[in-house]
Structure 1
Amino acid sequence: MHLGSLDRSGDRAPYRQIADQLRAAITRGELVAGDKLPSEAQLMKHYEVARMTARQAIQELRSEGRVVAEQGRGVFVSQPVQVRRLASERFARRHREAGLAAFGVEAEKTGFTPRVDQLEVSTASPPDEIRDRLRLGDGGDVVVRSRRYLADGQPVETAVSYVPASIAAGSPIVADDTGPGGIYARLEELGHELDHFTEEVSARMPTADERRRLQLTDGVPVMVVLRTAYDTTGRPVEVCDTLKAAPAYVLEYDIPAR
């Protein structure tokens, strides 16, 4: 790749100018996924800057998720995983009838290989917010299903589902493998035909534990999607609290104009 020069008379810090040039090279395709960035020593020599300046430039790109550092090998352009999430499509009944859960639908459309790991299933008293959303009143436990989703082996999402224990107890929902179609297929088999979902989407910075689980570098935000599923009687039958690595997702919505 071609390295430019610094404008030493300008107000923009040298490390930001170096980061700008490296970022532009990635955007233009001069550096593609898997390519190695110039080393700190190379940047120091070319731009005539201190090691700390070169290091800050690379850290700027790491914080954006554009590059990853591999111990003893160098810094490489990230391989982005783009999960296209079409909210109006992913929960269609035909997918459940075909044995596909929502993440599987996205994998089929986007072309990545899906996998679930770090799965935990338990029965517990829910947090107050979940209790209110499920209209459980002062009593009633929930079945909690916590899992991490991988796309092509890369962590992209964690999700925690809460289902009233009065519905889920003794059903495949409490098993590690809920079977074809996932939780929603099992809820419908239990007589809770799904009618609609509501979702609230927000963004924030992750906690240290969330950053570790999603393998995010410093400065990379997450999206939070809080979804409630309702059956045809209007009863809320599941709440799912999902944390998504922001660079890995495109959220697409099909909204009718009527």
Structure 2
Amino acid sequence: MTDNAQPGRVGYREIADDLRRQIDSGELPPGSKVPGENDLTSRYGVAQLTARHALDVLKTEGLIVAKRGSGTFVREFKPIRRVSPDRLRASNSWGSGQPIWATDIGTRPRTENVAVDVELPLTSIAEVLGLDEGARVVVRRRTYVVDDKPVQLATSYYPEALVAGSAINEINTGEGGAYARLRDLGYEPVRFREELRVRMPREAERRALDITQDTPIILIVRTAYTADDQPVEVNEMVLDSAAYILEYKFTSQD
């Protein structure tokens, strides 16, 4: 296509397909510079808007990234493999003083923008946690970042009456994180329930994750329960779909 392109006969999807082929084949390896709008306009004989749309397609797919003042490059980022239920086993992670994501495979994210507040919860959160009207929750918000790129937003809710005075109210919860602190309080989480859905991002999520409006996010809502089925945490996680592979392990044994 590149050598035989003629004006008016190539659309943005064909250009995106051609560039994607070059990326998949290694002709454009990770970290290499992708032809810019002007180069594509000349090479394929198309308008600049068509070239821009082609690049936007690949950005949406997470294949290329724009670096301000430098150009557009093939993404070097390797997806994080989020392995469940390994990451929630106490012996693998928080029970041995490690963060939950220590069991994930791939580049380890760092935590940024941690904020802790006490708030009245939404009705949906209050119902899951079994709270009475007017009861408040401790809310922990944070962002996970890899190579300076946000990959996940997380918001956890804990009954205020249950975690009052503990390190869960602090920016640094200590070794093992919040689940280890819940165990210290006598509310060790032993059972988890996760709900997963895929949707388009809300504007605040799009900005926080630095993704385009047409890049879907993965929403995971996890509820943690004690041995006697008391809910002790609701965690809402918003994942950049281009950054993660979700792996689930099952057994046929009861």
TM-score by length of 1: 0.91
Which of the residues 34, 37, 61 maps onto 1:37?
34
Q: Which residue of 1 aligns with 2:25?
A: 28
Q: Does 1:55 align with 2:52?
A: yes
Which of the residues 156, 167, 184 maps onto 2:179?
184
Deviation string 1:193-233 (CA, Å, 9 cap, x unpaired) is: 22200000001111121111111123211000000000011
Q: Which residue of 2 aligns with 1:101?
A: 99
Q: Does 1:89 align with 2:86?
A: yes
SS in structure 2 opposite 1:93? coil
SS in structure 2 opposite 1:192? coil
Quote the RMSD (CA, aligned, Å).
1.9
SS in structure 1 opposite 2:85? helix
Which of the residues 230, 250, 256 maps onto 2:245?
250
Which of the residues 119, 123, 127 maps onto 2:122?
127
How big is the shift at 1:56? 1.7
SS in structure 1 opposite 2:77? coil
Runs (5+) with no aligned partner, structure 1: none
The alpha-carbon distance between structure 1 residues 192 and 4, as it changes in their structure 2 partners (threshold 3 A), is farther
Contact 2:7 2:46 in 1 (8 A): no
The alpha-carbon distance between structure 1 residues 180 and 50, as it changes in their structure 2 partners (threshold 3 A), is same
Contact 2:101 2:108 in 1 (8 A): no
Q: Which residue of 1 aligns with 2:75?
A: 78
Contact 1:63 1:220 in 2 (8 A): yes
Contact 1:6 1:14 in 2 (8 A): no
State the one-letter code of the partner of 2:229.
Answer: G
How big is the shift at 1:46? 2.0
Runs (5+) with no aligned partner, structure 2: none
Bigger Cα displacement from structure 2, 194-203 vs 88-97: 88-97
Q: Which residue of 2 aligns with 1:196?
A: 191
State the one-letter code of the partner of 2:12.
Answer: Y
Q: Does 1:149 align with 2:144?
A: yes
Between the aligned residues of both structures, percent identity stands at 38
**Quick one: distance in 2 between partners of 1:41 and 1:200?**
45
The alpha-carbon distance between structure 1 residues 33 and 148, as it changes in their structure 2 partners (threshold 3 A), is same
SS in structure 1 opposite 2:62? coil
**Quick one: distance in 1 between partners of 2:175 and 2:16?**
46
**Quick one: distance in 1 between partners of 2:228 and 2:42?**
69
SS in structure 1 opposite 2:190? strand
The alpha-carbon distance between structure 1 residues 210 and 50, as it changes in their structure 2 partners (threshold 3 A), is same
Contact 2:137 2:157 in 1 (8 A): yes
Q: Does 1:223 align with 2:197?
A: no
Bigger Cα displacement from structure 2, 234-243 vs 87-96: 87-96
Q: Which residue of 1 aligns with 2:2?
A: 3
**Quick one: distance in 2 between partners of 1:129 and 1:98?**
32
Contact 2:190 2:226 in 1 (8 A): yes
Deviation string 1:106-153 (CA, Å, 9 cap, x unpaired) is: 2xx42x243111111011111110001001132311100000011233
Deviation string 1:72-110 (CA, Å, 9 cap, x unpaired) is: 32211122231111111001111223211112332xx42
Q: Which residue of 2 aligns with 1:161?
A: 156
Contact 1:188 1:194 in 2 (8 A): yes
TM-score by length of 2: 0.93
SS in structure 2 opposite 1:194? coil
